A and B are shown apart, each in its own frame.
Chain A
């Protein structure tokens, strides 16, 4: 299976292990990744709040590129996914708006016909690649490990723009994937809440309190690590914990490793920790690696 791959900015910046692990997993499971090196940032919701037409034009530009290549478009960032899904929703449901956006793209000789369905790796793994195909590839079952799935916001809401109405199971794909890889998952209130990243510089105290609450709950339920499809959630939940752990109500000062979905899949596929960037974490993943190796 071959896809047009949009990496997003963070996989090329603050979370290089996401880029590495996705490449390694792609090679291992036979998911051919054609990287869209010339696509632009989606604006992460920030550009669309100051100028929706500009942000939608940049997304449509990426859609047009994938359409031209004749390949499905794949994301590895929930925030990119949410912004793209919302842009696509507006463009596909309003022919006049699409014409306007295409008018903007004409300067580059691009045009978007509305035939792209951008999908996060998490969705693609379940809906297109297939978990039944993934199951026999498991070399190192994640038995004895307990994971806290953390979805974040952009890949879930609003449900009518994220396709949940047609695919209600999207709300538990993380649990489904963890199960196929033979790991355990916990249920806790924070799994669909905000990680606090967007207000990191606007209200750091609230941002850290979100980190404290969700990681604290997950530790309380016995999680060995958290796993997320969003690199922004990853960054905040990981980098915030050294300060946030002091804000927990129950005085639990342990630190919970935060893994990318591609790292989770990669571990079970038997890919080496080095190739998955498991050493590129603020919070050590050695404890998890040891349990997988055993």
Chain B
């Protein structure tokens, strides 16, 4: 026995042919409580407004077509139950918008070109170039493939890209983004691929792995548990272990570890200077006014950085456990 949900679906509409600007349409709906967002939208299209445009196909969370924004979060409409959404929000209005970070074509349909451009940019095919040719197929140990299952679960729905907080504000959008970087990890972590170094070198450049802001949004919204940000962090570790450290991200990571290792706490002033690079005068100058304002507001971290009493013990953990390439 199912109960009925009495709600309003507030849908963002846009039709380029109408000449009208983007607007919201409210659809009052009475639906069974087992309905998904997609079930409801299809009902709306069938019984309320046949012009509502949306993409969907499998209804089983595998084709990746129905990524959209539900109450401000990127969701696969077919995998999201309405009751879960309203229980969470405690409101009887559900807002439906097209996927973020991509241009809208009509209503809930977006132009995914930027998504595919990024996937293509990481060369998403395996290469054996320069590897000795095996007698039969190229083999990979189970452990390596197990590590890759997360990244390989990606169904290319674009939820992570539409939720990415960097792509949201960047103009023009240059960041490779979560989906493409998780895809890149799928090859960097595959022992049958021979281009690990070349890939890591390319990914360490501007708009690559170090431009991720660590906001967990892609981890939160991915319907398949790919956890793209975690893959980006693994790539950072692998890139640093492979020696690609001439960038602010690596300098920041090394300075952070050094500071905690020697004092048990973070030395913020040293971290800023070392992340930029001691001899990177132009960038150091950009932070000058911030330093002066900190002094004026009496917020400058102490010049003499104090160690915690047991700093030696913390150092011992670093000596025992620290090191790159352990992911």
Q: Are A14 and B294 in contact (CB under 8 A)?
A: yes
Give the interface segment out of B22-30, B143-151, B183-191, B210-218.
B210-218
Q: Which residue of A lies closest to B302 (CB)?
A: A13
Shortest CB-to-CB span from B277 to chain A, Å, is 9
Inside 8 A of B133's CB, which chain A residues have their CB? none
Shortest CB-to-CB span from B244 to chain A, Å, is 14
Q: Are A9 and B265 in contact (CB under 8 A)?
A: yes
State the CA gap A157–B236 with chains docked (Å). 21
Q: Are A10 and B211 in contact (CB under 8 A)?
A: no
Shortest CB-to-CB span from A287 to chain B, Å, is 16
A209: CB under 8 A from chain B? yes
Q: Are B297 and A159 in contact (CB under 8 A)?
A: no
How does the 8 Å CB contact mask read for B244-278 relative to A, with 1 for contact and 0 for none? 00011100110011001000111110001001100
B289: CB under 8 A from chain A? yes
A37: CB under 8 A from chain B? yes
A158-B220, A206-B166 known; A50-B317 Cβ under 8 A: no
Q: Are A239 and B321 in contact (CB under 8 A)?
A: no
Which of A10, A12, A53 is within 8 Å of B321, CB to CB? A53
State the CA gap A86–B301 with chains docked (Å). 28
State the CA gap A275–B257 with chains docked (Å). 33
Which of B72, B272, B301, B317 is within 8 Å of A201, CB to CB? B272
A51-B323, A202-B210 known; A44-B266 Cβ under 8 A: yes
Give the interface segment out of B1-9, B53-61, B308-316.
B308-316
A224: CB under 8 A from chain B? no
Shortest CB-to-CB span from A6 to chain B, Å, is 11
State the CA gap A156–B219 with chains docked (Å). 12
Which of A107, A196, A202, A242 is within 8 Å of B293, CB to CB? A242
How does the 8 Å CB contact mask read for B274-314 relative to A, with 1 for contact and 0 for none? 01100000010010011001100111111000101110011
Which of B168, B253, B268, B320 is within 8 Å of A104, CB to CB? B320
Q: Are A9 and B310 in contact (CB under 8 A)?
A: no
A96: CB under 8 A from chain B? no
Q: Which residue of B lies closest to A203 (CB)?
A: B211
A97: CB under 8 A from chain B? no
Instruction: Enumerate B116-141 residues with CB–CB distance to A below 8 Å.
Output: none
A199: CB under 8 A from chain B? yes
Shortest CB-to-CB span from A47 to chain B, Å, is 6
Q: Are A193 and B215 in contact (CB under 8 A)?
A: yes
A104, A107, A198, A199: most-surrounded residue (chain B CB, <10 A): A199
A50-B257, A108-B313, A201-B252 known; A17-B299 Cβ under 8 A: yes
Inside 8 A of A157's CB, which chain B residues have their CB? 215-217, 219-220
Shortest CB-to-CB span from B245 to chain A, Å, is 12
B35: CB under 8 A from chain A? no
B168, B267, B299: most-surrounded residue (chain A CB, <10 A): B299
State the CA gap A51–B317 with chains docked (Å). 12
Q: Are A202 and B264 in contact (CB under 8 A)?
A: no
A54: CB under 8 A from chain B? yes
How does the 8 Å CB contact mask read for A41-59 relative to B, with 1 for contact and 0 for none? 1011111111111100110
Inside 8 A of A209's CB, which chain B residues have their CB? 169-171
Give the interface segment out of A142-150, A261-269, A278-286.
A278-286
Interface size class, chain B: 35 or more
Q: Are A54 and B268 in contact (CB under 8 A)?
A: no
Q: Are A239 and B265 in contact (CB under 8 A)?
A: no
Q: Which residue of A lies closest to B309 (CB)?
A: A38
State the CA gap A210–B166 with chains docked (Å). 8
A13-B268, A53-B321, A209-B169 known; A199-B327 Cβ under 8 A: no
Q: Are B216 and A158 in contact (CB under 8 A)?
A: yes
A61, A202, A210: most-surrounded residue (chain B CB, <10 A): A202
Q: Are B211 and A37 in contact (CB under 8 A)?
A: no
Shortest CB-to-CB span from B31 to chain A, Å, is 22
Q: Which residue of B lies closest to A207 (CB)?
A: B213
How does the 8 Å CB contact mask read for A105-120 relative to B, with 1 for contact and 0 for none? 0011000000000000
How does the 8 Å CB contact mask read for B178-222 relative to A, with 1 for contact and 0 for none? 000000000000000000000000000010001111111101100
Which of B165, B175, B267, B316 is within 8 Å of A194, CB to CB? B165
11 A-B contact pairs sorted by A residue (CB < 8 Å): A14-B300, A44-B266, A50-B322, A51-B237, A58-B314, A153-B215, A158-B216, A194-B213, A198-B214, A206-B211, A242-B289
Closest 4 CB pairs of A and B: A157-B216, A13-B301, A194-B215, A49-B233
Other A-B pairs beyond A43-B256, A157-B215, A242-B293, 17, CB < 8 Å: A13-B265, A13-B268, A13-B302, A14-B300, A40-B308, A54-B317, A57-B317, A104-B317, A104-B320, A153-B216, A168-B87, A171-B88, A199-B211, A202-B211, A206-B169, A210-B165, A282-B294
Chain B interface residues (CB < 8 Å from chain A): 72, 87-88, 165-166, 168-171, 175, 206, 210-217, 219-220, 233, 236-237, 240, 247-249, 252-253, 256-257, 260, 264-268, 272, 275-276, 283, 286, 289-290, 293-294, 297-302, 306, 308-310, 313-314, 316-318, 320-324, 326-327
Chain A interface residues (CB < 8 Å from chain B): 9-10, 12-17, 37-41, 43-54, 57-58, 61, 82, 104, 107-108, 153-154, 156-159, 168, 171, 189, 193-194, 196, 198-199, 201-204, 206-207, 209-210, 213, 239, 242, 279-282
